[in-house]
Every structure is written in structure tokens, then in C-alpha cells.
A and B are shown apart, each in its own frame.
Chain A
Amino acid sequence: DAKTTQPNSMESNEEEPVHLPCNHSTISGTDYIHWYRQLPSQGPEYVIHGLTSNVNNRMASLAIAEDRKSSTLILHRATLRDAAVYYCILRDADYGGSQGNLIFGKGTKLSVKP
């Protein structure tokens, strides 16, 4: 039941920026936009999340469109270690209800070339 749309795969060159797009046209006002990635043979790991404003952390930046119907995960300098499947997920902040779960879609498989 993923409510996001991502490209199946993308390629990047090492040390170049990568922009991973995500469309979420049915996003609700209480949905946070989360990004996770899954490296080969590992569990998913949190990358970044945001609500309305752009966000930066040590791993990446998240650019959120003004209407919140799309977002872009930005890796400023891709490394070989960044090769992974990247998942864009909407997560309801209203944990008083039964939401707040991470529902994974197919994600984008990022390949990084040396």
C-alpha cells in the first residue's frame, strides 16, 4: 500500500551528487516524508525525514516541494558505499491511531560507478 512513486533504478558516478525523486501526490497534512536505505545483506537504515521544510543531516539533504506532493533525496557526493535500495515512505505522525507504520514500496536501486 505504498503511497509513493519512485524510479526503479538510477545510476551515479562516484563523488558526484545524486538526486533521488519521489512523488507522493496524495500526501496528507500529518504525513512525514521518510527516507530509508537498505545496503546489500543488511536491514534498512534511516536516512532522513521531514514535514514541510528542507532538511539536512550528515548523510543527505531532503528537498520538499512547496505543495508537498514530491520530494528529492540528495546525496551530495556519492560513494561506492551509497549503493543501496532507497525507499521513500510516508509516515503518519498521529501515533495515537494505528498509523505510524513504515510501509515500504519497491524503492529505487542506486548503483554507483567508480
Chain B
Amino acid sequence: DSGVTQTPKHLITATGQRVTLRCSPRSGDLSVYWYQQSLDQGLQFLIQYYNGEERAKGNILERFSAQQFPDLHSELNLSSLELGDSALYFCASSVVPGDTEAFFGQGTRLTVV
């Protein structure tokens, strides 16, 4: 158990819909990262937050957004869903970015039908 909790574990939704994925980081971790893993793209970095502020953006689509709340949990919002958004979405946390290890959750498997 990494200490990072992601909910829900599985999500099935229709095209055009909007979903919210939730991540609770390990106690004490200030930095949260979101990743998308699909079969053809591998693990893609989406976005990073540090102590409530957005710090870096990766390959995140405009239809996707995220935020980190004062209690440090984070949510990833995916809207106008397309079939190609079906993937595993991982959240990770670390004390700070940089030289510390990051801990990954078990992921949310999103299926868009």
C-alpha cells in the first residue's frame, strides 16, 4: 500500500460525459502528479500541483482540468469524453518535487463507451 488513495477504481461512462477522478496523497506530501496510461502511449505526465498551486503541465488536453484543494487532495476533471480517453489514470504524490521518491496510487480505470 503506497498510501495514495484514488477513487473510484473503475469508471464506465458514455462519450460526451464528464467525470471527476479523486486522489488523496500520502500524509505529509505536498506535491501531486497526474498521469495517463494507455496501451499505445505509455505513461504520460499530465499535470503537477505543489501545495495547492499548479507547477507544471504536460500533455494535458484542454478538455481536462485539475486542482489541488487546501487539504491537499486533488481532483482531475475530464469533460466531453471521447473513446480515446479510455485509459488508466494514476495519481502520485511526493513531499516536494525533485529528489524525493514519488508514491503512486493504484489508478482509476476509465472506460468510455
Contacts and interface: CB of A to CB of B under 8 A. Distances in A.
Interface residues of A, number: 26
B20 interface: no
B42 interface: yes
A114 B56 CA distance: 43
B113 interface: no
A49 B43 CA distance: 19
Contact of A94 (B2, B98, B103): B98
Given A43-B90, A44-B43, A93-B98, A101 B58 contact: yes
Interface stretch (A18-26, A69-77, A102-110): A102-110
A91 B105 contact: no
A43 B2 contact: yes
A79 B45 CA distance: 30
Interface of B: 2, 4, 31, 33, 35, 42-45, 48, 50, 55-56, 58, 90, 92, 96-99, 101-107
12 contacts: A42-B106, A42-B107, A43-B2, A43-B105, A44-B90, A45-B103, A93-B99, A95-B96, A95-B98, A101-B56, A103-B45, A104-B42
